[in-house]
Amino acid sequence: MKRSFIAGLVIGALIFGAIAAIAAGIVATPNTFPIKLNGGDVSIEGYNIDGSTYFKLRDIAEATGSFDVDFEDETILISTDKEEEAVNKLLYQGHGSFRLTLSSGEVIYIDPYAGEGYDEPADLVLVTHQHPDHNQISLVPQKEGCVVFQNSDAISDDGYVEADIAGVHIEPVQAYNKNHDVKQCVGYLVTVGDTLLYFAGDTSKTDQMAELAERGIDYAFLPMDGRFNMDIAEAIECAELIQAKNTVPVHMSPGSLFDRERAEQFTASSAFIVEAGEVIEF
């Protein structure tokens, strides 16, 4: 933000110099050079004067979104006190545990067990199955009216049970392997606004994963310890099936929050490494 502010001041100063130059009879020609902001194309009207390019300060402010410009009492006012837009924050606590804090304030824990960050009272707790490294609900402080939605709630005689709770849509999906019974385990698709998250829980490749490619998942979290779940090679195969925009390796080494060596072996095209204690904002 500070860098943009300084640039704006410099450009603004140049504009006033340009006005004087025009008054002196110097010719200004429209800028024809392409303009990129953080690698993306932007359209800003500019002029070339005596070998230098000039832009309107207000246009720079609008393009960068990092400051405001106003004019009052024959004074140009520049303000960098723009309110930051609220964002959703997903804390990876380590192993298979997460805390999701919505921009609207709701707090959701997924498979509480590992790491830190159990200080915010929950509106919702999601549990994929009843192994002790996924179901430590007692770690989570709960708001009045907090909902605990577990695998037993997600599976009925008629199939999977979807729900809308605490500002998100919950859709249980298949999760199973030789160590996890399909009738007792689930993964969760969690929709937060326009963002779709896939918490696979404990699983290996499932029949349903090929169908998930149609869903346009933004972040998928796949286990890959190779002992209780699929190994790294199978996790890569699943990532290519699911085709999420970002696939985060989790549950890599039983007893560890995070395993950098194993994470770097996860070479799926959508691989996105997140260490325990880091936050994804969206």
User: Model pTM?
Assistant: 0.73
H helix or E strand, kind and range, residue 22 = helix 2-23
Q: Is 167 in contact with 148 (CB distance < 8 Å)?
A: no
As a whole number, mean pLDDT of residues 197-220 equals: 98
CA distance 15 to 242: 51
Q: Greater confidence, 244 or 12?
A: 244
Is residue 83 very low, low, confident or very high in pLDDT (cuts 50, 70, 90)? low
Burial 168-190 (b: 16+ CB within 10 A, else e): bebbbbbbbbeebeeeebbbbbb
As a whole number, mean pLDDT of residues 255-276 equals: 98
- pLDDT of res. 158: 95
Q: Is 90 in contact with 98 (CB distance < 8 Å)?
A: yes
CA distance 7 to 129: 53
Any idea which of 21-35, 124-138, 223-237 has the lowest mean pLDDT? 21-35
As a whole number, mean pLDDT of residues 59-65 equals: 82
Per-residue DSSP letters for 61-128? HHHH-S-EEEEETTEEEEE--PPPPP--EEEEEETTEEEEE-TTS-EEEES--SSS---SPEEEEE-S
- pLDDT of res. 82: 62
Q: Going by C-beta distance under 8 Å and a sequence separation of 6 or more, which residues neighbour residue 134?
A: 96, 97, 111, 112, 113, 127, 128, 201, 202
As a whole number, mean pLDDT of residues 228-245 equals: 98
Is residue 203 very low, low, confident or very high in pLDDT (cuts 50, 70, 90)? very high
Percentage of the chain beyond pLDDT 70 is 90
Mean pLDDT for all residues in the chain: 89
Q: Is 46 in contact with 30 (CB distance < 8 Å)?
A: yes
Report phi then psi at 56, rounded to 5: -75, 135
Any idea which of 12-16, 162-166, 243-247 has the lowest mean pLDDT? 12-16
